[in-house]
Amino acid sequence: MKESYNFNEVEKKWQKYWEKNKFFEVEMDSKKPKYYVLEMFPYPSGEPHMGHVKNYVIGDVVARYKHSQGYNILHPMGWDAFGLPAENAAIKNQIHPSVWTKENIQKMKSTLIDMSISYDWNREIATCNPDYYKWTQWMFLQLYKKGLAYKKKAVVNWCPSCNVVLANEQVINGKCWRCDTEVIKKELSQWFFKITEYAQRLLDDMESLEEWPEKVLTMQRNWIGRSEGARIEFLIKGSDKTIPVFTTRPDTLYGVTYFLLAPEHPLVEEIMKDSPYKAEVQKYREDVSKESAIDRVSGTSEKKGCFTGKYVINPINGEEIPIWLANYVLMGYGTGAVMAVPAHDQRDFEFAKKYNLPIRIVIQPKDKKVSSDTMKNAFDEEGIMINSGQFNGLSSSKSLDVIIDYLIKKGSGEREVNYRLRDWLISRQRYWGAPIPMIYCENCGMVPVPEKDLPVLLPENVDFKPKGMSPLESNKEFVNTICPKCGRKAKREIDTMDTFVCSSWYYLRFCSPKTDTEPFNAEELKYWMPVDQYIGGVEHAILHLLYSRFFTKALYDMGYVNFEEPFKRLFTQGMVCKGGAAMSKSKGNIVNPGEIFTKFGIDATRVMMLFAGPPEVDMEWTDKGMEGASRFLNRVWRLIYNNIDCFKKGEDKEEVSLKNLSIEAKKIRQKTHQTIKKVTEDVEKRFHFNTAISAIMELVNEAYKLELPEEGKNENDVFVLKKTLEIIVRLLAPITPHFSEELWQEMGNKESIYFKPWPEYDEKMLEEEEKLIVVQINGKLRGKFTVSASCNNEKIKEKALSLSRIKEKITGKEIVKIILVSGKLVNIVIK
């Protein structure tokens, strides 16, 4: 054994050994309980960054830990390989996206192999391979069959820089999620997935996601944005047509003083036919259409409106109400029409003030009086109804239901639930994605590609420079095809799918990645799914995690899977920062993982990442932290090296039966068991590897202090030390696999530590023989003493009172009471 730890040699040695002996390859085994650990697969951008490293290290610790508990571990890795960067890089460097992607996969894979993350590389998948995207296309066809995929002309988000449409989820503050360019609106015919049909179930089933971070659930809830209310029909004056509105406040119906339509509302044309205000309205609509998408929805732009000269009838009291157009009414939500209640809605209030429209109070607060002349803001809380006919005097919250019922009876209203969630736009006008398997025939119209003809291969020879048109259009051999129905000339769909479609089902494919007759094998799926522990960045809280949940539910409804939620437990790790900011190229604060591995080794890097703080919190990368981690491993190495003689002789004994132990040995034995307990709980329940490592450090420090007398060594003391050292190495094994494996073998073990079951602690060993009692006076610490664990409470009290310092403080004072917490503390309350 070497006197100092040569990580280079040790890490290489065990990597080779594990690979050669196929340690991490798994098969389904119905006799063993399974555990599926998954880290979000990366986009192969080339170099893995520290964020990736953190993600995979956490996953690897979990996988190795669970393995040591006897689980059959599925821990796979693959590549989210379609996507824009490949295409952009290709355009820039004159290299084909597939070549660029494959090179990057190779680079990233070799780093992951260097890190010896315990992946079963036999199960590697890449979404850009035809044997994978064949099944992505199959998924599309199933959704199409189910009526969950449809094409429609719609105003969509368009990124003028990426030259591509974006899903709502990919628009962040009005800007493109990828390049930050301001998104514009475009009308296009596009494919959508009907995720809105699952809005309520996606919401309801969050109840079952008990082991997901609350943060993520909240974000999804906000995104789905359910609101309850009513749909109310307003009759257009002089017509038999009604315009519906959605409102969450039917209780304010008597306070409606004007009516609003979105400027692009389709009914506007119709009602304007015979209006004297035609010209003004026309101009107004043109002006609004020039407003940028961001200003329009940001809430900051000025409210602008235009009177139409038309009126609707309020169904509750027959009042005539003027119809206006307003830029703050959005066509995309509710019905694109709003009943305006300026007294009780801030936006309507501002609008009414600007255009001098009447404000009528119909809800009065309970404790004060507001008046329409003096109010500075709308009153939007609950109160007592006034000016509301037969409903006067009711509390506004209670009247919600009463009014809806009344409207239902009159035939002018319905209960309605609205969601903010929009259908998922999946068409992309780019090359590097899975082709949408659809054919357009002049005779038969839209015809899905028959399943037997899958995959629709992505042609190699394509001019993929962006022209605002799908690049596939440039390959006529691809575009021109024959109709599978009638055999006549037809054209293929030239858009590809959003890459998030590919990543919405990859976790299923890992269960049976090689099967070529079906997307996944039902039996394997039944065994492995759901994913027991999913780990990734919080940036996917809405996008990927919502889409995957939707896919799983759709597949469940079609009978392909027998579970409704794909990820049982989710962990979202924090970012790796340097200098207080997330590492990024633009900030120039990138730390290259490869360089760190060379300088300090993989295992030290793992320790540093896990020790820096709780993994869900952003961590600060410091070189000093790296040195500390490295120092710690060397310290453990020396500790074991100094005591290597312990392992040369002696057979295993029952720990409990050990007699004649020195006090020090007893203490360290107890500490060892406490440490097992602490580390197990921290890793299992809390994922707090930082405190787990600090507990191991404490044990190491204690072990250093245990100086066994040179001559006349107590054999049992030696045995206790040996056990402690073993435990240290075993507890470290999931965190520092190479390091622990080396020490384990040096200790004389033949089998790999990977197969050694996780250590267990003995309750009996945890108890301390002596307890430290803290003495307080009025809650302030005034003294301490130790007693044997068997000492009774009366004696403890007596002893506390007899401490000289305590005596001093209490003489002449009245003792009000004495509080005693068994085995812990005495608090003397004096006056």
Partner RNA sequence: GCCGGAGUGGCGGAAUAGGUAGACGCACAGGACUUAAAAUCCUGCGAAUUGUAAGAUUCGUGCCGGUUCGAUUCCGGCCUCCGGCACCA
By CB under 7 A, the residues from 126 to 185 that bind RNA are 172-173
Query: How far apart are CB 328 and RNA at their closest, in Å?
Result: 3
Asked if residue 244 has a cis previous peptide bond (ω within 30° of 0), the answer is no
Contact 449, 437 (CB under 8 A): yes
Nearest distance in Å: CB 699, RNA: 10
**Which candidate, 528, 534, 526, 527, places its Cα nearest to that of 503?**
534
3-state DSSP call for residue 167?
Answer: coil
Residues in contact with RNA, shown as a per-residue x/- string from 78 to 117 under the rule CB under 7 A? ----------------------------------------
Q: Residues binding RNA: what is the number (CB under 7 A)?
A: 93
- Of the two residues 414 and 620, which places its CB atom closer to RNA in the complex? 620
User: How do beta strands 581-582 and 576-578 pair?
Assistant: antiparallel
With CA atoms as reference, report the closest residue to 420 among 325, 310, 334, 515.
334
Q: Which residues make Cβ contacts (< 8 Å) with residue 692, sequence separation at least 6?
A: 610, 678, 679, 682, 683, 731, 735
Is residue 367 a contact point for RNA (CB under 7 A)? no
Q: Which is nearer to RNA, 96 or 678 (CB)?
A: 678
Query: CB-based contacts of 585: which residues, under 8 Å, 6+ apart?
Result: none
Q: Which of 661, 697, 708, 801 binds RNA (CB under 7 A)?
A: 697
Interface with RNA, residue 299, by CB under 7 A = yes
Closest to RNA by CB, 667 or 678: 678
According to CB under 7 A, which residues from 701 to 760 bind RNA? 701, 704-705
Cβ atoms of 37 and 63 closer than 8 Å: yes
> Which of positions 218-237 make contact with RNA (CB under 7 A)?
218-219, 222-223, 225, 227, 229
Pick the closer one to RNA by CB: 557 or 616.
616
Smallest separation (angstroms) from RNA to the CB of 778: 5
- Does residue number 366 form part of the binding site for RNA (CB under 7 A)? no
* Cβ neighbours, 10 Å, residue 705: 9
Whether residue 329 contacts residue 254, with contact meaning beta carbons closer than 8 Å, is answered with: no
Stretch that binds RNA, among 322-330, 397-405, 561-569, 647-655 (CB under 7 A): 322-330
Tell me which of 136, 396, 412, 418 binds RNA, using CB under 7 A: 418
Footprint (CB under 7 A) of RNA, residues 477-516: none
Residue among 302, 367, 651, 763 that touches RNA (CB under 7 A)? 302
Q: Record the tokens describing residue 618, joined without a space.
A: 């952003």
Which of 784, 795, 807, 813 binds RNA (CB under 7 A)? It is 784
CA distance 614 to 601: 22
For 28, counting Cβ atoms within 10 Å of its Cβ (0-12 exposed, 13-18 middle, 19+ buried), the class is middle
* CA atoms 427, 430, 436, 437: torsion sign: positive
Residue with tokens 């494996």: 741
CB of residue 209 to RNA, shortest distance in Å = 14
Task: State which residue, 659 or 705, has the beta carbon closest to RNA.
Answer: 705
Q: Which is nearer to RNA, 458 or 577 (CB)?
A: 577
R_g over Cα of the chain: 35
Site map (CB under 7 A) of RNA, residues 514-553, x = contact = ------------------------x---x-----------
Contacts (CB under 7 A) with RNA, residues 669-688: 678, 681-682, 685-686, 688
What does the block give as tokens for 141?
A: 């066809």
Angle between helices 50-68 and 593-600 (to 10 degrees): 60
Q: Under the criterion CB under 7 A, does residue 831 sit at the interface with RNA?
A: no
Which residues, 605 to 644, sit near RNA by CB under 7 A? 611-614, 617-620, 622, 624-625, 627-628, 631-632, 634-635, 638
Residue with smaller CB distance to RNA, 135 or 351: 351
Q: Is 329 in the site for RNA (CB under 7 A)?
A: yes
Does 31 contact RNA by CB under 7 A?
Answer: no
Given the rule CB under 7 A, which of 88-96, 335-343, 463-471, 732-740 is the region that contacts RNA?
335-343
Site for RNA contains 246 (CB under 7 A): yes
Binding residue for RNA (CB under 7 A) from 3, 27, 214, 654?
214
**Binder of RNA out of 163, 247, 308, 429 (CB under 7 A):** 247
Q: Is residue 211 a contact point for RNA (CB under 7 A)?
A: no
* H or E, element range at 1: none
Nearer Cβ to RNA (105/696): 696
Site for RNA contains 297 (CB under 7 A): yes
Concatenated DSSP letters of 101-155: HHHHHHHHHHHHHHTT----GGG-EETTSHHHHHHHHHHHHHHHHTT-EEEEEEE
Task: Please pick, from the candidates 552, 690, 716, 740, the single residue that binds RNA as defined by CB under 7 A.
Answer: 690
* In the complex, least distance from residue 290 CB atom to RNA, rounded to whole angstroms: 14
Cα four-point dihedral sign 428, 432, 437, 441: positive
Which of 298, 392, 443, 793 is in the footprint of RNA by CB under 7 A? 298
Contacts 24+ apart (CB under 8 A), 755-761: 756/68, 756/730, 757/68, 757/69, 757/70, 758/65, 758/68, 758/69, 758/680, 758/730, 759/676, 759/727, 759/730, 759/731, 760/676, 761/673, 761/674, 761/676, 761/677, 761/680
Is residue 266 part of the contact set for RNA (CB under 7 A)?
no
- Our finding on whether 12 is near RNA (CB under 7 A) is no
**Amino acid type, 25:** E
For residue 575, give the 3-state DSSP assignment. coil
Give the range of 10-18, 80-88, 240-248, 443-451 binding RNA by CB under 7 A: 240-248
Q: Does 339 bind RNA (CB under 7 A)?
A: yes
Q: Is 416 in the site for RNA (CB under 7 A)?
A: no
Q: Is residue 805 at the binding interface for RNA, with CB under 7 A as the rule?
A: yes
Task: Give which of 762, 767, 781, 772 is closest to 827, Cα–Cα.
Answer: 781
Of the pair 418, 427, the CB lying nearest RNA is at 418
Q: Which one of the spans 17-25, 188-196, 294-302, 493-501 is the region binding RNA (CB under 7 A)?
A: 294-302
Separation of first and last alpha carbons in the chain: 66
| Residue 774 is a binding residue for RNA (CB under 7 A) | yes
Checking 722-727 for CB contacts under 8 A at 24+ apart, the result is 722/643, 722/646, 722/647, 722/650, 723/655, 723/669, 723/672, 724/668, 724/669, 724/671, 724/672, 724/699, 725/639, 725/640, 725/643, 725/646, 727/672, 727/675, 727/676, 727/699, 727/759
CB of 405 to RNA, least distance (A): 18
CB of 77 to RNA, least distance (A): 27
CB of 701 to RNA, least distance (A): 5
- Determine the Cα–Cα distance for residues 605 and 806; give it in Å rounded to an integer: 50
